[in-house]
Chain A
Amino acid sequence: MRKTTRKAWALAAGVTSVALLATACSGNAGGDDDETAGGDITLTVATFNEFGYTDEMFARYEEENPGVTIEQKRAATADEARENLNSRLAAGSGTSDIEAVEVDWLPELMQFPDYFEDLSSPDVEGRWLDWKVAQATTEDGKLVGYGTDIGPQGIAYRADLFEAAGLPADREAVAELFGGDSATWEQFFEVGKQYSEGSGGKAFFDSAGAIYQGIINQEEFPYETEDGTVTAVSDGRVKEIYEQVVQASVEDGLSAHYSQWSEDWTNSFQNDGFAVMLAPGWMLGVIEGNAAGVEGWDLADVFPGGAGNWGGSFLTVPSQGANVEEAKKLAAWLTAPEQQIEAFNNKGTFPSQIEAQESEDIQSATNAFFNDAPVGQILSNRSQGVVVPFKGPNYFTIQQAIGNALTEVDVNGADPAAQWETVVGVVEGLG
């Protein structure tokens, strides 16, 4: 009896020490390879959602660059990626070699450019649209991130539902219906009402928050001016937009009252929940994924109120990384036109690279799910004349507050005025 007990303990002790050893070995994640294989390095690339980078692309890079191994890490959401990156920057360790950053929260990081490598280099000059580069360039000329994609938006719609409601279904006719080159939001909501009447009161668009995104992204200075003054509440324009969206969504009943990305929203694609969505390139993949098996989606070459950009990201190289030079090289490669064209073909992320946009691959790209729409050409038309909103350090916080307020009103039936007061409270609490 005693012997077996002792054996058990010896076993336990053995397990512990083995496990401790294992920890010691697996401890420095990403760094362990350089010790074992002499000079070989592992580069980690942290992204979120879908960037369109595939294992095959990484394998190709690894082949061209012997000794380099690439690992992609994906966060659950952009919000989580942001929190994750923030905390690791603060910690001084733990970031990936390349960190993807979304345009909405790039500005808050731009306040602390010392955390990032300067990526400017003659090799990549002129690669991107000017405004894309400007967004990631500090006042003293440091380039913090390489642009990946941008989000020029068209209107994705359900041709079958349009037809059933007595509206035109053909994509050129739909573009005209929304007003063609002179499309306005008023006209957009007007079509919504027609659809609603023709369909017996069905919802037109998915969510108030998405429509708000569309409008606010056309403002040159949505919430802040360049000198850091917060104007979100004071100049009245934001409130005007807010009320316009509330009017259309709730009072006119055009919204399907979903919170984007929620369980219900995801499901609604399978249940004819709504008929249109504002669709930047990256959204096409989302629609296709969620609406698998549903027929009738199409993409119209039109957008209310002029062109509009929604989202888009950058690849940054945090200075704390062990292999910043190699990381820069990889970041430059990933954001080169060829790779971004491939990413576009994979997940619909529309490139921010001029050469890529003009390439035959993009111009002739069609999407079978969207009734063979020439998505490349449409998105590239939609990227013309995009107004680039100035996004200051408080952009994300204010945007989140208004998004919450709209969800409360649109989805949960809260009082619009009271919710606006909440936004005012958040803005006042800034700083």
Chain B
Amino acid sequence: MSAPSLPYVRQTAGAGAARAAARRRGSGHGSERRPGWVTYLLLTLALAVFVLPIYYAFLLASSDAQTIAQNPIPGLLPEGNFLANVERVLESDIGFWKALTNSVIVATVTAASTVLFSTLAGFSFSKLRFRGRKGLLLFVIATTAVPTQLGIIPLFIVMSQLGWIGQLQAVIVPGLVTAFGVFWMTQYLESALPYELIEAARVDGASMIRTFWSVALPAARPAAVMLGLFTFVASWTNFFWPFIVLGSTNPTLPVALQLLQASYFKDMSLIMAGVVLSTIPLLVLFAVAGRQLVAGIMAGAVKG
């Protein structure tokens, strides 16, 4: 959604990750008594609120347009049309597979490159000495507060000059590296990469890039995984810029999703099947990497 506010991140990012690691080693905190059932009841309720809308989408996705139109409140159990509706989404002319491929490409490339470039810059900012370092780092921090979304008009002009309108580069390139990523990796490497390791590599005659590759990168791994995940989710769910620059000609999933309303009559079961279908990949990712996401946020990762 946005860039973080830096004074706070400074307190938390990286340092927070280190704290989290310490917590994991240590034993929880304060009152070690297990809470009573009321707590669990409240949590279950909260979870229900969070999951209900997704379930609701699934309910509609397994129904049909007519039933939905006649019953504002759907039955609590899914009806049997889910697969049929999914099939209709796949067969519709929104180009689901192409959109999926596009989303995978965009999210993977931006995540990988954000991690790579951020780690490089983080290594440089945290461990190397050069003139203007402090000022440049401050500049990076300051840019996180710049609402780049507002620069869409010239950015659009730039992209059209490059002939990139409707092409994936137009979405990928602006996301190759983020200020937040640079800052996050700087903070992390600051505390996680001992100077001794760098020195040892340098004494062995390793070049800068080799030092980075063999010492900094491995040390950065935990933070890099989190950064990669956040970037992936953020670019997967991104709508505004892809919508403007890609449009319906070469869409990513969110852009394709809204095309399901395209026909003259709105078929809610079809639309919701699309919603569910486009959410499944991230739910799977979440099942696999949810722990890291949680840990990342708790370590000070910020809305991406």
CB within 8 Å of B: which residues of A? 2, 5-6, 8-9, 12-13, 15-16, 19-20, 22-23, 26-30, 44, 46, 48-50, 72-77, 80, 84, 87-88, 90-94, 96, 261, 263, 266-267, 269-271, 282, 285-286, 289-290, 292-293, 347
Contacts and interface: CB of A to CB of B under 8 A. Distances in A.
A269 B249 contact: no
Contacts of B172: 23
A87 B168 contact: no
B233 interface: no
Contacts of A50: 263-264
B105 A26 contact: yes
Nearest to B214: A6
B109 interface: yes
A148 to B, nearest CB: 15
B109 A75 contact: no
Contact of A76 (B113, B213, B244, B248): B248
Nearest to B217: A9
Contacts of B267: 289
A48 B259 CA distance: 10
Contacts of A22: 105
Given A77-B262, A266-B266, A270-B69, A23 B109 contact: yes
Nearest to B65: A292
Given A93-B165, A270-B69, A271-B70, A289 B249 contact: no
A76 B258 contact: yes
B221 A93 contact: no
11 contacts: A2-B218, A22-B105, A29-B166, A29-B167, A74-B93, A74-B94, A93-B163, A94-B165, A94-B166, A267-B69, A271-B69
Contacts of B261: 76-77
B175 interface: no
Given A8-B221, A26-B101, A87-B244, A289 B263 contact: yes
A286 B266 CA distance: 9
A28 B249 CA distance: 11
B250 A29 contact: yes
B265 interface: yes
A164 B267 CA distance: 29
Interface of B is mostly: helix
A44 B217 CA distance: 45
Contacts of B244: 87
Nearest to A74: B262
A246 to B, nearest CB: 27
Interface string B216-243: 0110010000001000000000000000
- Most B Cβ at <10 Å: residue of A46, A48, A77, A80: A80
Nearest to A284: B264
A9 B212 CA distance: 12
Nearest to A72: B93
Nearest to A292: B66
A26 to B, nearest CB: 7
A266 B172 CA distance: 37
A26 B168 contact: yes
B169 A23 contact: yes
B162 to A, nearest CB: 9
B66 A293 contact: yes
Interface in B72-110: 93-94, 101-102, 105, 108-109
Given A8-B221, A15-B108, A16-B109, A286 B247 contact: no
A88 B68 CA distance: 37
Given A84-B247, A271-B69, A27 B266 contact: no
A53 to B, nearest CB: 10
B112 A16 contact: yes
Nearest to B168: A23
Contacts of B94: 74
A117 B265 CA distance: 33
B264 A91 contact: no
B156 interface: yes
Contact of B108 (A19, A267, A282): A19
A30 B172 CA distance: 19
A94 B160 contact: yes
Contacts of A5: 217-218, 221
Given A50-B264, A77-B261, A270 B66 contact: yes
A15 B247 CA distance: 26
A85 B267 CA distance: 26
Contacts of B18: none
A179 B267 CA distance: 36
Nearest to A18: B108
A290 B167 contact: no
Nearest first, the 9 closest Cβ-Cβ pairs linking A and B are: A91-B160, A94-B165, A289-B265, A270-B69, A94-B166, A16-B112, A286-B264, A5-B218, A290-B265
A91 B263 contact: no
A73 B250 CA distance: 9
Given A49-B262, A72-B93, A96 B249 contact: yes
B115 interface: yes
